Amino acid sequence: MHVHIAEGEGLHRIVIVGGGAGGLELATLLGKTLGKQQRAHITLVDKNRTHIWKPMLHEIASGSMDYTLHEIDYLAQARWHHFRYRIGAMTGVDRSQRLVFIDAHTDEDGITVTPPRSLPYDTLVVAIGSRTHDFNIPGVAEHAIQLDTAEQAERFHRKLVNAFIRANAQAAPLQPGQLQVAIIGAGATGVELAAELHKSVRTLVDYGLERLDADRDVNLNLIEAAPRILPALPERIADEAMRILQKLEINVRTDARVAGVKADGVELASGEFIPAELVVWAAGIRSFVCLQNMDNLAINNINQLLVKPTLQTTLDDNVFAFGDCAAAPWLGKAPGTLIPPRAQAAHQQALHLAKQLRNRVEGKPLQDFHYQDFGSLISLGENWAAGGLMGNLSKGTLFVEGYIARFMYNMLYKKHQLGLHGFWKVALDTVSGFIRRKTTPRIKLH
């Protein structure tokens, strides 16, 4: 039984489900305009209480970033930017009644915080992102950690720290697989995590774990089913990333399909077994099963909602979708080409929808979304990155690497922060962060 919540009566009601990079930015932009001016009632729905920028998860997992210093409280953001935040996970919609159904939210003790509810909408925007795809490979759910949330990344980091402290304290020699890490999937997340871990495990050992030698005792294994790492990016970027990984002595296995994950390692389809105490699954994406309960809206085989160039779903103009959960056509490319699931795409779509939803409230026609590919940057440790810029130019791509590329990579996060907070808060946070780095350990040690 759903409790009906009648909010925003008399105003155009815009409900945004999903507070990731795109959804939170859109809610903030609409709140600062339509919400502040009392021209629309803006509601953001998310099952979490705080937001963290998903491209940073590999830094949280390695310990090079304390996510509690970077998370954004939805209630505070809503209060400051004139929208409403409601906690809960979407379970489905009734398109005829224009209702979105939100599941009950319970705390860690199983006590109900909010009951199942239904929220009315005039415009529904779905931006729930994606999760990793385990392809039904045995043992992934039981023995591998997936990096979809800050909590999962933090869990991996705790297990990593505990593994090193345990190994340093034990009297017996290290066992086969002990202090070995297997990262399955050499896309951006896998490659970036491998490079970050190379530095962080050595820093961890330096903090008093004198019985361990990171060069001798630790092995990082990066496993990819495709013929090369970073298969979705240009080959030149992959070649530069591979060069750095080899320099860091990370074991990279390509053309290596995983058949199963065990408690003590990874089994390949070839029959080879790679011992590992810690396994990270970072291969493939799919959207959430709840999108199958969208009152017969069209989805593809990885649960993405099919949308038109306006980002409206193909069967209902009152429902929009963008980001990783949407199969959006890439205008100007070959028919059937979809916009890639990247943070820059969600950012551009949020900016576009902020304008178009204002047009919708005013009764004006909507414009199509045109994605501009500004290239890709891959972080390869604290001070190094590689990538290609201006990927949409007919003259080709400008390749960058090294400290300049790392600076540009860091600026992507600053751009996200600016969209949510404005210049002065970001400037002050940057200064305080610089001071904090001088007075705290280089990595999180717990």
Domain boundary residue, one of 319, 338, 361: 361
Is 66 found in the same domain as 16? Answer: yes
Contact predicate 241/380, CB 8 Å: yes
With vertex at residue 287, the alpha carbon angle to CA 53 and CA 265, rounded to the nearest 5 degrees, is 80
pLDDT of residue 393: 43
Average pLDDT score over the chain = 90
Q: Amino acid letter at 396?
A: G
pLDDT of residue 397: 62
Comparing 21-30, 123-132, 402-411, the range with the smallest average pLDDT is 402-411
Q: Which two tokens stand for residue 4?
A: 């009906």
User: What SS3 class is residue 441?
Assistant: coil
Is 66 found in the same domain as 53? Answer: yes
CATH number at residue 254: 3.50.50.100
To the question of pTM greater than 0.85 for the whole model, the response is: yes
* 369, part of any domain: no
Rounded distance between C-alpha atoms, residue 253 and residue 183, angstroms = 10
Tens digits of per-residue pLDDT, 40-69? Answer: 999 999 999 999 888 888 889 998 887 777
Is 268 found in the same domain as 145? Answer: yes
Is 182 found in the same domain as 126? Answer: no
**What average pLDDT score do residues 128-146 get?**
92
CATH number at residue 119: 3.50.50.60
Comparing 13-17, 79-83, 290-294, the range with the smallest average pLDDT is 290-294
* 446, part of any domain: no
pLDDT of residue 43: 97
Rounded distance between C-alpha atoms, residue 67 and residue 52, angstroms = 7
Is 330 found in the same domain as 202? Answer: no
* 367, part of any domain: no
Tens digits of per-residue pLDDT, 234-291? Answer: 888 899 999 999 999 999 999 999 999 999 999 999 999 999 999 999 988 888 888 9
At residue 14, what are phi and psi to the nearest 5 degrees?
-110, 120
pLDDT(392) > 50: no
* 232, part of any domain: yes
- Which residues form the domain of 228? 140-285
How many Å is the Cα radius of gyration of the chain?
23
Domain boundary residue, one of 229, 254, 285: 285
Is 179 found in the same domain as 169? Answer: yes
pLDDT of residue 412: 79
Among 162, 133, 136, smallest CA distance to 278 is for 162
Q: Which residue has the tokens 């990079």?
A: 21
Is 381 found in the same domain as 264? Answer: no
With vertex at residue 345, the alpha carbon angle to CA 257 and CA 141, rounded to the nearest 5 degrees, is 35
DSSP string, 249-281: T-EEE-S--EEEEETTEEEETTS-EEE-SEEEE
Is 264 found in the same domain as 328? Answer: no
Tens digits of per-residue pLDDT, 322-365? Answer: 999 999 999 999 999 999 988 889 999 999 999 999 999 999 99
Is 279 found in the same domain as 189? Answer: yes
User: What SS3 class is residue 32?
Assistant: helix
**What average pLDDT score do residues 82-106 get?**
96
* 65, part of any domain: yes
**What average pLDDT score do residues 424-442 get?**
74
Q: What percent of the chain has pLDDT over 70?
A: 95
* 172, part of any domain: yes
Question: 426 or 178: which carries more pLDDT confidence?
Answer: 178
Contact predicate 325/18, CB 8 Å: yes
* 370, part of any domain: no
Q: What band does 373 get if pLDDT is binned at 50, 70 and 90?
A: confident
* 192, part of any domain: yes
* Other Cβ atoms closer than 10 A to 288: 19
Q: Amino acid letter at 259?
A: A
Q: Which residue has the tokens 């209060």?
A: 79
User: What SS3 class is residue 91?
Assistant: strand
Tens digits of per-residue pLDDT, 84-93? Answer: 999 999 999 9
pLDDT(394) > 50: no
Comparing 133-137, 192-196, 362-366, 397-401, the range with the smallest average pLDDT is 397-401
Domain boundary residue, one of 285, 312, 336: 285
Is 337 found in the same domain as 252? Answer: no
Report H helices in 228-377: 235-247, 343-361
Structural domains in the chain (count): 3
Q: CA-CA distances (angstroms) from residue 42 to 24, 128, 249, 326, 342?
A: 11, 17, 50, 21, 25
Tens digits of per-residue pLDDT, 153-202? Answer: 999 999 999 999 999 999 999 998 999 999 999 999 999 999 999 999 99
Is 146 found in the same domain as 91? Answer: no
Rounded distance between C-alpha atoms, residue 400 and residue 388, angstroms = 6
Q: What band does 396 get if pLDDT is binned at 50, 70 and 90?
A: low
Q: What band does 445 get if pLDDT is binned at 50, 70 and 90?
A: low
Is 185 found in the same domain as 152? Answer: yes
- How far from chain centre, in Å, is Cα 278? 21
Contact predicate 191/226, CB 8 Å: no
